[in-house]
Amino acid sequence: MNSVAELAKNPELAKPKINNVSYDIETFRGSIPISQELLDDADYDIMDLVIEDALDQAANTQEYEIATILKTATEKAAAGFDGLKDVINGIKSVYNVSLVVTDSMFAAMDKVKDKTGKYRLQPDVTSPTGYSFGGRHIYRVEDTVFGQEGDMKAFVGDVKAFVTLFDRLQISVKWVDSEIYGQLLSLYVRFDVQKADEKAGYFVTYTDVVE
């Protein structure tokens, strides 16, 4: 903005940069049959367990689709904590950077100590893992979300800026009529995910080193 004289005409500000992102909503659905025998014989609330499992499957579906987009980020290699810092420092400060790391990568990072024997990850009650790196929240995913078992991979950057979730219909579950002797739980969710800002992060291969 500019300083202007009283009652002077407003100067024109810089135009915002807007990226047009095309998306195509997809429907993800399925069903889980529950026999009447199981309902009759179970000594616990089988209905609640089935619904909980169905919701987990829907959440995992969205996680997988988002991870597929995150893996398209520009690849970087990071050797040890200094390498991770180089990656983070290469991202513009306007982004809200976090680390989404595989279980194997988190296990390696969690054991890194400084010369005094103190663990280098910082305790952070606001972070999902309870730890942060350089003040950045750390999130964990299974190794297979980003690669193979044992892979130390991560998305380092601003997830919400890099990928956009177009959530047309949130997770919906309902019991429907079925020809089986039992009940059928149907699950529906409609969404799409697309890359929005490719400058918002990197897909990192981490190598553990002796600090």
E strands present in the chain: 26-35, 75-79, 98-102, 122-123, 131-133, 136-141, 153-157, 163-176, 182-195, 201-207
Please indicate, yes or no, if residue 20 is contained in any of the structural domains. Answer: no
Please indicate, yes or no, if residue 49 is contained in any of the structural domains. Answer: yes
Please indicate, yes or no, if residue 175 is contained in any of the structural domains. Answer: yes
Can you give the C-alpha Rg of the chain in angstroms?
Answer: 23
Please indicate, yes or no, if residue 12 is contained in any of the structural domains. Answer: no
98-102/136-141 β-pairing? parallel
Domain that holds residue 54: 26-207
Please indicate, yes or no, if residue 14 is contained in any of the structural domains. Answer: no
Judged against a pLDDT cut of 70, whether residue 96 lies above it is answered with: yes
Whether 69 and 23 have beta carbons less than 8 Å apart is answered as no
What confidence tens digit (pLDDT) does each residue in 144-166 have? 999 999 999 999 999 999 988 76
What confidence tens digit (pLDDT) does each residue in 166-211 have? 665 556 666 666 666 667 777 777 766 788 899 999 999 999 986 5
Note the pLDDT of residue 13: 59
Please indicate, yes or no, if residue 77 is contained in any of the structural domains. Answer: yes
Those residues whose C-beta lies under 8 Å from the C-beta of residue 13, and which sit 6 or more positions away, are: 1
DSSP string, 175-201: EE--SSSEEEEEEEEEEEEEE--GGGE
How many structural domains are present in the chain?
Answer: 1
Please indicate, yes or no, if residue 106 is contained in any of the structural domains. Answer: yes
Note the pLDDT of residue 157: 97
What confidence tens digit (pLDDT) does each residue in 98-153 have? 999 999 999 999 999 988 999 999 999 999 999 999 999 999 999 999 999 999 99
Output the CA–CA distances (angstroms, integers) from residue 21 to 1, 16, 73, in the order listed: 28, 16, 16
* CATH label of the domain that carries residue 173: 3.90.1690.10
**Secondary structure of 122-143 in HEC code, one letter for each residue:** EECCCCCCCEEECCEEEEEECH
Judged against a pLDDT cut of 90, whether residue 86 lies above it is answered with: yes
Note the pLDDT of residue 184: 72
Judged against a pLDDT cut of 80, whether residue 80 lies above it is answered with: yes
Judged against a pLDDT cut of 70, whether residue 45 lies above it is answered with: yes
**φ, ψ for residue 55, nearest 5 deg:** -65, -40
Note the pLDDT of residue 187: 74
Please indicate, yes or no, if residue 21 is contained in any of the structural domains. Answer: no
10 Å Cβ neighbour count for 104? 20
- Give pTM, 2 decimals: 0.73
